[in-house]
Amino acid sequence: MSRFTGPIDVRMTRSNEHGRPVWRLLSPLVYHVGFEGSPDVVEVPAGFGTDGVSVPLPFAWLVPVLEHSTFRPACVHDFLWTQHQAGRASGRSRREIDAILLEALLVMRVPRFKAYLMWAAVRLQAIWSGDR
C-alpha cells in the first residue's frame, strides 16, 4: 500500500485571492504512489503553499480545510496540479493526478463515500475546465 512517509508541518502565512488561508510547508511532504517503497515518489517541497481542501462554502461542513485525513492528500494534489499547469508534471495527466488524490485519501482512511465524492468533484472540475 502507498503511504506518506512523515508528518505534515505547516504554518498559515496569508490569504489567497478567494480569502482562504494559505498554509506553507515547513518541511517536505513525501508520498509514495502505488505502494510503500515505490520509485514513483511525490515530494512536495518545503515552502509550497496550499489552501488545503478547496471546498465550496455550502459543503465546508463535509470536508473541513484542516481535517487531518484530507489535508495531506489535498496538499499533494495541489502540488501536482500546479506542476501540471506549469508544464512540469513529469508526464502526469490531470486524470492521473486526480487518481493519486483518491489513492492518498484512501491511504489516510477517509471513508470511501467521502473519498470518492471528493475525487468526483475534482474530476468534474477537470471536465468542466476542459483539462481531462
pLDDT in tens, 34-89: 988 889 999 999 999 987 776 655 555 565 555 678 889 999 999 998 898 888 76
The whole-angstrom separation of Cα 110 and Cα 11 is: 23
Which residues, listed in sequence order, are joined to residue 24 by a DSSP beta bridge? Answer: 11, 49
Which residues constitute the domain of residue 47?
3-129
- 3-state SS class at 59: helix
Question: Which positions ≥6 away from 19 have C-beta within 8 Å?
Answer: none
Total number of domains in the chain: 1
- Provide, rounded to the nearest whole percent, the portion of the chain with pLDDT above 70: 80
* C-alpha grid cell, residue 45: 517541497
Place of cell 511525490: 42
For the chain, where are the alpha helices, taking DSSP H only?
68-85, 94-107, 112-129
Say whether pTM exceeds 0.85: no
- 3-state SS class at 42: strand
| Mean pLDDT of the region 11-37 | 82
